[in-house]
Amino acid sequence: MVPPLLFGPVIVVLCVVAFSGLGVAAAFGGLAGGYLAWTLCEYWIHRSLFHLEPRSAAGARLHFIIHGVHHDHPSDPLRLVMPPVVTVPAAGLFAGLFVVVLGTPFAWAVTAGFYGGYLLYDLVHYALHHARPKGRAGRLFHRLHMRHHFEDDTRGFGVSAPWWDVVFGTAPRNGKKTATPPT
């Protein structure tokens, strides 16, 4: 998979720079804050951008390319993550925002946590579509995400962070049996 190859080394470098410029507590705090910021972005990007209702044919086509194709082909391993041509510039914009707002070296810790959250999201999302989790948390995440795909795509936007669905009232409702994804 490409995301670990792209973001893994960057996360390591950012952590080294952050820990060398900050105290341990501040660096870990920045990592945690960046991760938390990512989980909220993951929820809002999925809910607001990926599931918006376009008003034009061009908007509908763009929406389909960005996320609709994933819902039409949820088991296709090539359609699970955004391509690097989108994620790398977006990552750069977020890093720049963190530098402007937080200053360095704290921004490096926050950016590392943010990128780590993104990478975790990508890996979790891939696993939810291509593995059968054995642990309790993994089975819960799988069930919630499959409900989003096969029962009600207007709920369950937090793929790796389903607690935001609870906070914002979009948690999948109980009652329906989750459909089995096509193989």
Tell me the pLDDT tens digit for each residue of 135-166. 898 888 888 877 877 777 788 888 888 899 89
Provide the residue range defining the domain that includes 33: 2-137
* Helix, strand, coil % over all residues of the chain, rounded to 5: 70, 0, 30
Domains held by the chain: number:
1
The whole model's pTM is what? Answer: 0.83
Query: Within a domain: residue 175?
Result: no
Residue showing tokens 């935001």: 164
Who has greater pLDDT, 64 or 167?
167
- Report d(CA 39, CA 58) in Å as an integer: 29
- Report d(CA 146, CA 75) in Å as an integer: 11
Query: Within a domain: residue 118?
Result: yes
- Report d(CA 86, CA 89) in Å as an integer: 6
Query: Within a domain: residue 33?
Result: yes
